[in-house]
Amino acid sequence: MIESLDRQQFAHWLTVEEGTVESYEDLRSAPTEYVLYLGSKYAWLSENDYDREAFEVIVLILRIVEYIPDLADRAKQSYWACRGMAVTCSFLGLWQDSIEGYERAIHIGEDGAYPLIEASYRGPGGAGSGAQYQPADHRELGSMHGRVGSYGEALDHHRIAEERLEAARSRLDVHTYRDELARLRNARALVRMDLGEYKEAERDSLAAASIEEELGEENPLRFLQAAIDYMSAGKARRGLALRKDEGFTASFATFDDALRVLTLAPSGRREHSDRESEVYLERGRTHLMDGDHEAAITDLERALSLTSDFNLIQHAGAHHLYLGEAYLDADDPERAEVSLEKAAIIAEDLGTPETLWQGQRMLAAVFRAGNAPEKARTELRKCIDIIEQLRSQTLPESSKISMLEPKDRAYEDLVIDLCESGSEDAETTEVARALEITEAFN
């Protein structure tokens, strides 16, 4: 039994259960009751933020679900196992593994598990929460594609999620429908943000926040999600302000809304401190863009002190990225380099392009200021390679243009750097390519 986690006790428990799993593998038959037993332990670990241990348990479950004799039970438990793997991998920052997990879960669901899951959740009035899983799976799959910069796939799955949610609306209780609708709108807003479609992102985020605040009156945990929605809206307003060369008053007001709803949510949970960290992260970034480096560093250092390792992974090192940028602007290159290298390492390990290209571009600035031109050029070339990979995606032209717009400065930096260094003939093509792309933006 795992009722409180002692690492040594867990290791012993896992060894015993691995032996049991091996015996069922040899028999090629596993009782549903045992799979449910392992599932209950996975659920406890996951709910209590023991994500790595939960991962080890879900691996055990996946080894034996195919040996459940009852076909209906096999379908349901296979679906839950694949979905559990997808969720846990997303928590661990294993985005590609999460994508594969959601794809497998959707395949199993559409092959017959979804109706079985829905039936097990249906209440006496005919409506329940089971019908949410198909749209939720597509929503999460879209979000994982967004994490790795596959924006076309992200938009496709969010569109499918919306279609599936509307098709299931009559079979869902009103609270479940509205909560999933809010989650979908926020997920779509985050992708729109990366694509530079700030007006659409602002609209979706504020609509999601309004729903979650209403739901929070009955379930205060929903205020945590409302805080996420307001943060997304604040980021979108920041993007609009930059594009229109306006002030950040509206953006700061929305971050204040995020802090307001956090006071209404239960405290003492990791999720609460992580949400608070995110507010200071985004507010600090906005101070930075507003030219207030002192306020930016104060907020960003507070964000880093509040965040958990889990949240640091979820944001792909953005805490270190923005803090490094603040140190760089405050003329503190040593601390900037330390923070930016941490951000680049995390982003590269996770395969998160948006954080990585920004970190590499700023590292190039640090190296150039430190009279290390070769290191600066190396970082710029890596930065350009990532942007070129993003450019190669199939996207609506308007989305591609807005997504690439913030990245044109990297090409300008490369042109300047190569030209000022007296580049060799072998680099002439690289200069011409960067100039061509830079001119296309202007």
Residue extents of the structural domains in the chain: 176-263, 271-360
For the chain, helix (H) and strand (E) counts, in that order, are 22, 0
How much of the chain, in percent, has pLDDT values that exceed 90?
54
pTM attached to this predicted model = 0.77
201's torsion region: left (phi>0), alpha (psi -120 to 50) or beta?
alpha
At 268, is the pLDDT very low, low, confident or very high (cuts 50, 70, 90)?
confident
Residue-level pLDDT at 89: 93
How many other CB atoms are there within 10 angstroms of residue 417's CB atom? 20
> Tokens standing for 199?
């007006």
Q: Taking 70 as the threshold, does the pLDDT of residue 395 lie above it? A: no
> φ and ψ at 391, to 5 degrees?
-60, -30
pLDDT of residue 5: 67
Say yes or no to pLDDT of 425 above 50.
no
Condensed to tens digits (0 to 9), the pLDDT of residues 322-338 reads 888 899 888 888 999 99
Q: Is the pLDDT of residue 436 over 60?
A: no
**pLDDT band of 410, cuts 50, 70, 90:** low
Categorize the per-residue pLDDT at 26 as very low, low, confident or very high, splitting at 50, 70 and 90.
very high
Mean pLDDT value across residues 117-142: 80
- Mean pLDDT to the nearest integer, 9-33: 95
Q: How far apart are CA 201 and CA 214, in angstroms?
A: 20
User: Mean pLDDT over residues 65-72, rounded?
Assistant: 96
Give mean pLDDT, residues 241-258. Answer: 93
What is the reported pLDDT for 383?
Answer: 81
Residue 184: pLDDT band with limits 50, 70, 90: very high
Q: What is the pLDDT of residue 140?
A: 97
Q: Which two tokens stand for residue 35?
A: 């799979």
Share the mean pLDDT of the chain: 86
Which backbone phi and psi does 354 adopt, to 5 degrees? -65, -45
Please determine, for residue 312, whether its predicted confidence score (pLDDT) is greater than 80. no
> Which residues have CB under 8 Å from 13's CB, separation 6+?
1, 2
How long, in residues, is the chain?
Answer: 442
- Please tell me the predicted confidence (pLDDT) of residue 126: 47
Q: Please give the C-alpha separations between residue 375 and each of 255, 286, 426, in angstroms, as whole numbers.
A: 37, 29, 18
- Token pair in block for residue 212: 């979650």
Residue range 275-284, pLDDT digits in tens: 999 999 999 9
Flag whether pLDDT at 355 surpasses 60. yes
Closest CA to 195 of 408, 354, 385, 362: 354
Helices (H), 263-332: 270-289, 293-306, 309-314, 318-329
What number is the average pLDDT over the span 80-88?
96
Higher-pLDDT residue of 112 and 395 is 112
User: Is 126 strand, coil or helix?
Assistant: coil
Q: Is the pLDDT of residue 417 over 70?
A: no
Angle between helices 32-47 and 71-91 (to 10 degrees): 20
Closest CA to 440 of 396, 391, 385: 391
Give me the CATH topology for the region 271-360: 1.25.40
The packing angle between helices 270-289 and 249-262, to 10°, is 170
């190296």: which residue's tokens? 367
Q: How many CB atoms lie within 10 A of CB 379?
A: 26
Of the ranges 138-142, 151-155, 368-372, 429-433, which one carries the lowest mean pLDDT score? 429-433
pLDDT of residue 125: 45
Q: Nearest Cα to 1, choosing from 48, 33, 41?
A: 41
Centre a 10 Å sphere on the Cβ of residue 153 and count the other Cβ atoms it contains.
18
What is the pLDDT, as a whole number, of residue 372? 83
Whole-number Å distance between alpha carbons of 285 and 237: 13
Query: Which segment, 2-6, 236-240, 316-320, is predicted with the most confidence on average?
Result: 236-240
pLDDT computed for residue 301 by the predictor: 93
